[in-house]
């Protein structure tokens, strides 16, 4: 891949540069010393991936990410001194469209970079993500069984990727504290950041947000977030669990794998939602839910930080509605209220 580096610290640039060059699989597209320069350079020569620092002069990495995703979108990973020091800034950058975050490698005596293997692992994950764009379906095909029980609790299922944290925060913050539907979210995020994301979303929403655990039962008024290296799935009619299968998915956890497990096991009503994100994960799963008569929503282009996953869903005609982000929360509240009145 052609990779750009954006950082104002020369030692950090050199450490990252050596990791990339040393892999012999990637090349440096260009180097920028601040966010403003990165926006300009990206407009002239858009790379496959940008490794973006957060704190920089003239324009920080968050604003640079926001402008790049609006003008010349490409994959962006936050590379900063210590992601644990500024989790809110990391999630803000992810809300603007960054896909992941990692600590900056440290240049050691002798020219080696400590932390280089972790960075290369992140780059490899992004490479696989970028490579998805041919409509290839992820995950094993799951067969549905049993009849839907419309009196059972309604399930609201979200899938999101780049830009997802901020989008989820806006939607969840607009739902009432007595929201009468179970909510499960699959957001593409490194397992390392999953707990921090759950804590951050919990502060943005009147609903309780926490990581989903093995054997959890979704309950109304609670938001369960996929966390870990494995796929979150339904293992029974009302029981969640984690599985490493299918092992060949570029996304872990996968929205498609989760949506297919809903189709297999969940016996009640479902509302499926695809928010902003890069790639196609979730589009095929949403199509399956839509074909079974469930209500499905995709975020529209103008409000998406990255119009990849919602676009793929729209192209598959997998959506009942295509809505701007600001309208999704109110529409969900309306749908759940209508359902309650219908079954009263």
Q: Which residues are catalytic?
A: 161, 188, 281
DSSP codes joined into one string, 185-208: EEE---HHHHHHHHHHHHTT-SSE
Residue matched to tokens 């936050």: 78
User: What contacts 23, CB < 8 A, 6 or more positions away?
Assistant: 120, 123
Question: Phi and psi for 135 in degrees, rounded to 5?
Answer: 85, 10
- 3-state secondary structure (DSSP) of residue 272: strand
Check: CB of residue 34 under 8 Å from CB of residue 59.
yes
Euclidean distance between CA atoms 24 and 19, whole angstroms: 9
Check: CB of residue 312 under 8 Å from CB of residue 280.
yes
Strands 295-299 and 321-323: what pairing? parallel
Euclidean distance between CA atoms 283 and 288, whole angstroms: 9
- The rounded Cα 306 to chain-centroid distance in angstroms is 10
Crossing angle (nearest 10°) for helices 283-291 and 255-265:
20
User: What contacts 343, CB < 8 A, 6 or more positions away?
Assistant: 150, 151
């Amino acid at each position: 891949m052609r990779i750009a580096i954006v950082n104002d610290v020369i030692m950090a640039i050199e450490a990252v540069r050596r990791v990339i060059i040393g892999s012999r699989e990637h090349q440096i597209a260009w180097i920028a010393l601040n966010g403003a320069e990165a926006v300009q350079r990206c407009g002239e020569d858009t790379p496959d991936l940008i490794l973006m620092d957060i704190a920089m002069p003239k324009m920080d990495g968050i604003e640079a990410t926001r402008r790049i995703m609006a003008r010349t979108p490409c994959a962006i990973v936050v590379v900063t001194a210590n992601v644990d020091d500024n989790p809110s800034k990391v999630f803000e950058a992810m809300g603007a469209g960054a896909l992941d975050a990692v600590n900056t490698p440290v240049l050691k005596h002798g020219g080696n970079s400590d932390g280089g293997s972790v960075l290369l692992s992140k780059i490899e994950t992004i490479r696989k993500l970028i490579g998805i764009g041919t409509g290839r379906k992820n995950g094993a095909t799951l067969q549905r069984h049993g009849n839907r029980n419309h009196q059972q609790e309604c399930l609201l299922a979200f899938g999101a990727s780049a830009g997802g944290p901020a989008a989820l925060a806006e939607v969840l913050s607009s739902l009432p504290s007595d929201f009468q539907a179970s909510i499960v979210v699959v957001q593409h995020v490194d397992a390392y950041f999953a707990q921090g994301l759950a804590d951050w979303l919990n502060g943005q929403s009147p609903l309780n947000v926490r990581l989903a655990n093995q054997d959890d039962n979704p309950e109304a008024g609670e938001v369960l977030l996929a966390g870990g290296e494995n796929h979150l799935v339904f293992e029974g009619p009302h029981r969640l669990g984690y599985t490493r299968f299918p092992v060949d998915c570029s996304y872990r956890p996968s929205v498609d794998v989760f949506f297919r497990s809903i189709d297999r096991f969940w016996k009640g009503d479902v509302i499926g939602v695809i928010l902003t994100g890069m790639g196609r994960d979730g589009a095929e799963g949403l199509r399956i839910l839509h074909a079974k008569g469930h209500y499905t929503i995709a975020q529209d282009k103008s409000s998406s930080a990255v119009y990849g996953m919602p676009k793929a869903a729209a192209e598959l005609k997998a959506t009942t509605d295509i809505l701007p982000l600001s309208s999704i929360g109110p529409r969900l509240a309306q749908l759940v209220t209508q359902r309650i009145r219908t079954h009263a």
